Structure 1
């Protein structure tokens, strides 16, 4: 690692350490990610293994969070469900950011294409995201490709509009106009001068897309439109435990708590990151 890069890493670490909200959110988020990714090693039982004689049992030394109505280990199912939610959220965030960034750059820089592209984005935004996701999953089936596409499509226009707004302001800067006047190829102008200005807002927006994707996947699973029953997801676990809530409330409470903590950690981290990267907000806070 070069000295300059080492200095930047050290500055970033010290900035996180000085922000108690960001530090708390980061620790909680990392903890949830680690236990979810480590599900195959942390869980003592297969999440799909049925043990009818152990159904609706409370927490024990063998079953840390108890069992569900079919005798399955709830601890294993929550961890595997969390891993599924995190994986899906990362895929949705990556695809939404990449496509939205490309569309926003084109719409913001090429004025002749702006009206057509943004009217198309407005048309997509006019459809409620959850309704569009339900329709796509119902038509395409509950698989990873359909789920990622169904959750990503409503997020792409929001990111495109964000990037477009940044491009519209940056392209009028003197250094960009000077670069264009010197005959610099368009792609170089975009990559060297405009694209870097979109990174900070995109990083912040990506965190909120992750939180929205986790919640949408849980809602689809709760409505019975998520992944097949043999694949545990937090929403489907809560839905399966709802009829037994009075007798075995832990079936709903534990996955619900995990889901709430995961979304809370992502949103807290996104808010703190936005305050840290937004120069105007930082100056206002310091002032």
Structure 2
């Protein structure tokens, strides 16, 4: 029986993803830095506050975040763990609908406003069409989450970012898969006067052949596609019922299981 393990696209064993909240003006500069270095981000936006103060206006959202992911951060940024269920549902579902009218694709991700969530909120999210929830609890680790509705990032960009990046880059054991997940608020680079931090990070982490650069939802979709693969009992072949490929490490060989196809292993 062959030894089969999940790999990331093209056989990579590391993934980098970024997550930034509130949709403020500094996102313009952050997106430009990401684009220049081939890094993808997820931007969590409050649709009920677009254009207020220094927040990105509605008419700029689609173009600015093209190639990245727009996700919900609730409509008006309440501390939802203290909110009645009716408000929780309204804040999340209305934000989805408003953002989808702008970007024209299903909005399926969430970062918890003020880091606020509890078990009931996690349980209701699938019924609202939301497939992950990012917390503010930095793990300092590079592991995949056990629970995408309690998705703890590796670090805030203020926490040992470059040191953690060096560690991540040097991870070489291909029997494991690794994820580095960085979060924050773009306006913090203005407040701290340290745009050079994210510039250095992106130059260091970007453009590497062994790293998959993905949005939050791309990681969720890929992991779900892997879970839905149909393996034969002896793992000699696999059928992929989805439309997208999954890469597998089979006895140290990288094999692409194409969407809609049976693949011999």
- TM > 0.5 between the two? no
TM-score band, normalised by shorter chain? under 0.3
Q: Considering Cα pairs closer than 8 Å and 6+ residues apart, tell me whether 1 or 2 has the greater RCO.
A: 2
| TM, length-normalised to structure 2 | 0.24
Instruction: Tell me which structure has the larger Cα radius of gyration.
Output: 1
| TM, length-normalised to structure 1 | 0.23
Whichever structure has more helix as a proportion of its residues is 1
Whichever structure has more strand as a proportion of its residues is 2
